[in-house]
Structure 1
Amino acid sequence: MRKNIKALLGFGLMWNRQKFLDTAIKNINHHFGKITEKTDPFELTYSRYYEKEMGKDLKKMFIIIERLIDKSDIGKIKKISMKIEDSMRIDGNRTVNIDPFYIDMDQVVVATSKYRGNRIYIGEGIFVELELWYHHGSFQPFLWTYIDYKEQIPFFNNVRNIYKKVYN
């Protein structure tokens, strides 16, 4: 088995009420395992995209789960994440947004159900996007990389170092 098919599982979580985050984390722990690393919550001052559906004062954080996954499982993980989101809807609107990603020595790859021209379709309504690429001693963004991923590059570099020590 080649090393590069395994990666650490992570999630980008967005919410505006603590009880929704708490419920999402309980579900993630149940389905995927324990959180080992996380960012501090931060505000999304640069985007209002989700406000119509989820409300104002949205916060976001990135978390890393203790287990390695096969990269090919990211589509199944996104489908489970969508079921968790659906189970927490109020009046048809999401109360939490859960975006799974994986991270290894070279990549941060996000799974999404939304199409954009730079995303690759992997089946069953799921696309993946290379969000960050490790080059010259740090993860680097692309033209399409979301600002929150760019701002959290030190976190992703730290997670990469953990991956390197423990799993590589």
Structure 2
Amino acid sequence: MSRPKEPPSAKLIMGMLFRDARVHRQALAAATDLFGPLDFATEPEPFHFTTYYDREMGPGILRRTIGFLDPVRPESLPDIKLRTNGIEDRLAVDGKRQVNLDPGLLSEERIILASGKNYTHRVYLRDGIYADLTLIYQKGAYQCLPWTYPDYRSPILLHFFGILRRKLAFQRSGKLPRKIVPQGGPI
């Protein structure tokens, strides 16, 4: 028989889609007000993986991924998603989002994104929020699944997630990881 125990904290990460730098700054300020300081951010890059968001947000969408310094409890993911939905709503113009915020949890075992949409690989949490198993950690790196979003398949983003995983392990234990060179040789 398994004995229930509290899961360890996870690193809050967030994908951001936006077109306007001013809206991006407002969303980033609102997110850091809610979730604390950042310890990671990619540079904004053109989002060319799908045109799904163009109808609502227009063409020329940029994407970046951010990570927050303070680990969070896994059970807080629905609350986080509802709060990011609130940021999206406050910054919307005529009912159309100007920014899309996709929060997720990075743990040593997996990366889970929050979603308001049901699908076969998503597990219902509460309050209309589902957990989307996006990446799993095996063989020394995060591995894609058949349904992993194309932007989360990016080798550079997978590399950064590996670094954030090591940082999370350090935050939890206070000990530097034994193996700091990723599989495949030096960085």
**2:71 is equivalent to residue 68 of structure 1:** yes
**Equivalent residues in 2 for 1:32-51, closer than 5 Å:** 32-51=35-54
Q: Distance in 1 between matches of 2:165 and 2:7?
A: 13
What is the aligned partner in structure 2 of residue 136 from structure 1? 139
- The aligned amino acid for 1:97 is N
TM-score, length-scaled by structure 1: 0.96
Cα RMSD of the aligned pairs, angstroms, is 1.4
TM-score, length-scaled by structure 2: 0.86
What is the aligned partner in structure 1 of residue 99 from structure 2? 96
What is the aligned partner in structure 2 of residue 84 from structure 1? 87
- The aligned amino acid for 1:59 is L
Higher relative contact order (CA 8 A, sep 6+): 1
What is the aligned partner in structure 2 of residue 9 from structure 1? 12
* Count, aligned residues: 168
| Higher-Rg member (1/2) | 2
State the Cα deviation string for residues 15-35 of structure 1 (Å, max 9, x = none): 011011100000011111001
Structure 2 stretches of 5 or more lacking a match?
174-187
User: Would you tell me which structure has more strand in proportion to its own residues?
Assistant: 1
In structure 2, the residue corresponding to 1:93 is in which secondary structure? coil
Structure 1 stretches of 5 or more lacking a match?
none
Once the two structures are TM-superposed, the CA of residue 39 in structure 1 deviates from its matched residue by 1.4
Once the two structures are TM-superposed, the CA of residue 159 in structure 1 deviates from its matched residue by 0.6
Once the two structures are TM-superposed, the CA of residue 3 in structure 1 deviates from its matched residue by 7.0
- The aligned amino acid for 1:82 is N
What is the percentage of aligned positions where both structures have the same residue? Answer: 27
What is the aligned partner in structure 2 of residue 19 from structure 1? 22
Once the two structures are TM-superposed, the CA of residue 116 in structure 1 deviates from its matched residue by 1.6
